[in-house]
Amino acid sequence: MFIQTEITPNPSTLKFIPGEKVLDTGSVEFANKSEAKQSPLALRLFSVRGVESVFFSTDFISIRKSDHEEWDGLKPLVLEAITDHYEAGESTLLAKEDKNVDSSASKGKDSDIVLKIQDLINTKVRPAVAQDGGDITFEGFKDGVVSLKLKGACAGCPSSTATLKSGIENMLKHYVPAVKEVQSV
């Protein structure tokens, strides 16, 4: 099995592309081993010393390492864990995860605005963020403030605040005048 690796803007995170489906749809992130009980692959990855978080999308895996580990020693162990998982024929998740579902708590008069924001996030932002090994989900819209959650390589990335404010916020303000601010949750 050949697994591609790509660097991300976050030096603590690498993107692994196994060339096989990781998830059917959406994305899911595990911040620690105790959250990973429903994922044989995540448990296997957390057994590698130095793995700090695991993120799955449909066709890639992002791994964030602890600061005291180096990728030179960690990368071969992560590749081995991913290869072993696919060779064993195990599923990525044992039960359906709802962590990746976008929520739109706003209803009524804001629903058209929320739909427009979600459409822009899904069509213009998420594909670009996925190229960097992450994901971004819409969490809500209230009083002109869009709440977004950064996942995978984007969570904790040094450039994520700049991307959120100067990139995503400016784009949303341009297309949706009701947007006044974008914040990370």
Residue 166: exposure state from Cβ atoms within 10 A (0-12, 13-18, ≥19): exposed
Per-residue pLDDT tens over the stretch 75-113: 999 999 999 999 999 899 986 544 443 343 443 445 888
Q: Which CATH architecture has domain 4-88?
A: 2-Layer Sandwich (3.30)
The confidence score (pLDDT) of residue 99 equals 47
- Among residues 52, 35, 17, the alpha carbon closest in space to that of 133 is found at 17
**Window from 3-7, 36-40, 140-144, 156-160 with minimum mean pLDDT:** 156-160
> CATH 3.30.1370.70 spans which residues of the chain?
4-88
The CATH code of domain 109-184 reads 3.30.300.130
The confidence score (pLDDT) of residue 101 equals 38
> CATH 3.30.300.130 spans which residues of the chain?
109-184
The confidence score (pLDDT) of residue 96 equals 59
4 has which bridge partners? Answer: 17
Per-residue pLDDT tens over the stretch 3-25: 999 999 889 999 999 999 999 98
* Mean pLDDT of the region 126-155: 86
